[in-house]
Amino acid sequence: MKQKQSLSSVSVTILLCALTFTGTVLFMQHRYRKTEEKFQRLAELDQYIQQNFYTDYDEDALMDSMLKGYVSGLGDRYSSYMTPEEYDSLMTKEAGKTIGIGVTVVQNEEGYPEIIEVQENSPAEKAGLHPEDVILAVEGEDVLTVGYTESISRVRGEEGTAVNLKVRQDGTEKEISIVRETFDVTTVAGQMLDGHIGYIQIVSFRENTADQFQNALDELLAQGADALIFDVRDNGGGLLSALEKMLDPLLPKGDIATATYQGDETEVVLKSDAEELNLPMAVLVNGNSASAAELFSASLRDFKQAKLVGTQTFGKGIMQVTTRMPDGGGLTLTVATYQTTKSECYHGVGLTPDVIAELPDDAETDVQLEAAKKLFESGR
């Protein structure tokens, strides 16, 4: 009897294996047929274009457009195909670097670019440019003649090349030649506010952001900060690797966030060690706080380290991975949703602040910052 039962079990096991194998083969055959159909349709389209298009065309540009269109067919605004040049540019950006002269400009009432920010250690700073300087001409051509947008485009260029500008500085016009460089972008800035409140603004999460954040945090703590405000308003996100390094000194030991991939496979993507900063904290957020900025905020709140102040956040709780493809281009693809280990995914919903505070466009003071500061008035 026992022998008969054992043989039956073996038979069932063999049958299940056979069914699994058959199912896998059928699935692969179906996928192969679908792939074959796609290439057949493309080949027919390509042949028709070659035989009938009325003039010559750029084969490489056609291929790039085809690949971009293929990925856009996913219907996901965050997934995209990039040309090799676009991929290299993204890698430079994610490294926290930029190529150029290092200024931020706005169009003034005259129609000229007026500098509102000069990046630290940038070619522009080395050349002596300052906020409120006005760019009048680029490569000898007046901005109003060439056009504002085109003039800004001409300021950009390849590393090691020079751009010649006519600038109005303190009422005096002068010619300046600036060599474009690759330089670090400042993504974190810290300062001490009244009442020993440390304020840290985080613009984005790049490869160099974690080091800049740690330096700002250490400096504020050394100055005696006994409360912290993190500002991620208008921060569209960035790299999870930078985010983990920034959260680590702030949170208790354990798993912080997980990602859920295709097939409901789950993986821990953020962890923290035993070191934990025990200070009152707040995070400033708004409708442009998205992705990693939201996960930063949600993590601090879910682990009872901070309160959120401001307005409802954007609601991007999905993760992209960027890969260089064999042709030299790149693919950014959405691969997972993510969330903290304490709450649900906020994708499409956003985070509701603990303290709702609107910031009118004509506000003379930063009412959101003031609302965050009030959180620390008691219990310190």
Residues 34-59 pLDDT 10s: 788 888 999 999 999 999 999 999 99
The reply to whether the predicted model has a pTM over 0.85 is no
Q: Tally helices (H) and strands (E) across the chain.
A: 10, 19
Residues 6+ apart with CB under 8 A from 362: none
Q: Of 133, 289, 316, 373, which is the active-site residue?
A: 316
Residues 6+ apart with CB under 8 A from 146: 138, 154
Active site residue 177: no
- Residue owning tokens 């945090």: 217
Q: Of 76, 234, 302, 366, which is the active-site residue?
A: 302
Residues 6+ apart with CB under 8 A from 231: 199, 200, 201, 202, 283, 284, 369
User: What whole-number distance in Å separates Cα of residue 243 and Cα of residue 272?
Assistant: 11
User: What whole-number distance in Å separates Cα of residue 129 and Cα of residue 115?
Assistant: 8
Rounded CA Rg of the chain: 27
User: What whole-number distance in Å separates Cα of residue 374 and Cα of residue 62?
Assistant: 58
Handedness of CA 327, 330, 333, 338 (dihedral sign): positive
| pLDDT by position in tens, the chain (length 380) | 444 444 455 555 555 555 555 555 555 566 667 788 888 999 999 999 999 999 999 999 999 999 999 999 999 999 999 999 999 999 999 999 989 999 999 999 999 999 998 988 899 999 999 999 999 999 999 999 999 999 998 998 889 999 999 999 999 999 999 999 998 889 999 999 999 999 999 999 999 999 999 999 999 999 999 999 999 999 999 999 999 999 999 999 999 999 999 999 999 999 999 889 999 999 999 999 999 999 999 999 999 999 999 999 999 999 999 999 999 999 999 999 999 999 999 999 999 999 999 998 888 899 999 999 999 986 54
- What tokens does 153 get? 């485009």
Percentage of the chain exceeding pLDDT 70: 91
User: What whole-number distance in Å separates Cα of residue 193 and Cα of residue 145?
Assistant: 45
Q: Of 272, 291, 297, 299, which is the active-site residue?
A: 291
Beta bridge partners of 258: 268, 339
Active site residue 316: yes
- What tokens does 20 get? 């699994």
Active site residue 366: no
User: What whole-number distance in Å separates Cα of residue 195 and Cα of residue 174?
Assistant: 44
For residue 236, give the nearest of 174, 313, 161, 177 by alpha carbon: 313
Reduce the DSSP state of residue 354 to 3 states and report it: coil
User: What whole-number distance in Å separates Cα of residue 308 and Cα of residue 377?
Assistant: 16
Domains of the chain, first to last: 97-184 (2.30.42.10), 188-374 (3.90.226.10)
